[in-house]
Amino acid sequence: MKSRKSSQQLIDVWEESPLSPPNGGRRYPNGRNGHHSAHPSISDLINQFIDDVCAGKLNETPVAYRGKLQRLIQFFGAEQDARSLTSDDLDRFKHHLLSRKTKLRGTKTVKGLLSPFTTHTVLVTVKFFFRWAVEKGHIEANPAVGIKLQKPPKPKPKAIDALTVDQLLKAATKMGRPWEQARNIALILVLRDTGGRVGGLVTANFADLDLKKQRLQVFS
């Protein structure tokens, strides 16, 4: 089994990445270090945002925030004056996300649109970032306030594979009394053969079962 990287390893990988801003995003150039600047750059504000919101967390959260906000830097440039951005600029950024023809899959760039989920989470983070910048007094107006979010479609449930079904059946034969084992096996087979919902099946009772017609009526 592949071991999960520790939180510190994730931070280290990010700081060594070519996408990482100078100094790994832990210091602010020009001696800002939390002080308001007349012309705060996007890169500086992202650093301050992560330090403030994540409050020194050494887990996946800072890495996730930086990865999403890095798209702002890629589109506008690291030294873009954050105060000069307008709602039209953020509309262009949103259109860029929705229409770009390539995306990262692992470490490789492949052809294809960004998934609705990726686009949604990036825009949610961007709106949070600019709202924070206004609340902290770094910028006067929120250019992302007008961005409308569309909920990404719910992912379709994945079919259970045959190996997992076999493992469930084996486990069912080893748990409970004989009648409970028979019941659990029957439930698993009904789910496998009908594609029914667990929530509906667990509320079924004997009155819903017709053994002669081999029919089970389920409400969900």
Q: What tens digit of pLDDT does each residue of 117-143 get? A: 899 999 999 999 999 999 999 999 999
Asked if residue 25 has pLDDT above 70, the reply is no
Domain residue limits at 22: 7-135
Specify if 167 maps to a domain: yes
Pair type for strands 209-210 and 215-216: antiparallel
Q: Is residue 148 part of a domain?
A: no
- Secondary structure letter of residue 156 according to DSSP: P
DSSP string, 22-87: GGGGSS-GGG-TT---SS-BHHHHHHHHHHHHHTT--SHHHHHHHHHHHHHHHHH-TT-BGGG--H
Tokens encoding 7? 């939180």
12 and 118 share a domain? yes
Are 98 and 203 in the same domain? no
Instruction: Say if CB 143 and CB 126 are below 8 A apart.
Output: no
Between 60 and 38, residue with greater pLDDT: 60
Cα 37 from Cα 65, distance rounded (Å): 22
Residues 168 and 130 in one domain: no
pLDDT band at 161 (very low <50, low <70, confident <90, very high): confident
Query: pTM (2 decimals)?
Result: 0.57
Domain boundary among 135, 152, 176: 135
Q: How much is the CA Rg of the chain, to the nearest whole Å?
A: 26
Would you place residue 109 in the very low, low, confident or very high pLDDT band (cuts 50, 70, 90)?
confident
DSSP3 helix / strand / coil % (the chain, rounded to 5): 55, 5, 40
23 and 128 inside one domain:
yes
Give a yes or no: residue 152 inside a domain. Answer: no
Q: What is the pLDDT of residue 139?
A: 94
Q: What local confidence, expressed as pLDDT, does residue 8 receive?
A: 45
Alpha carbon distance, N-terminus to C-terminus of the chain: 38
- The whole-chain average pLDDT of the chain stands at 81
Task: Give the pLDDT confidence score for residue 145 in this predicted structure.
Answer: 93
Q: Count how many domains the chain has.
A: 2
What was the pLDDT predicted at 9? 46
Average pLDDT of the segment spanning 11-29: 42
Phi, psi for residue 142 in degrees, rounded to 5 = -90, 105
Domain check: are 109 and 187 in the same one?
no
**pLDDT value, residue 59:** 73
Do 72 and 131 lie in a common domain?
yes
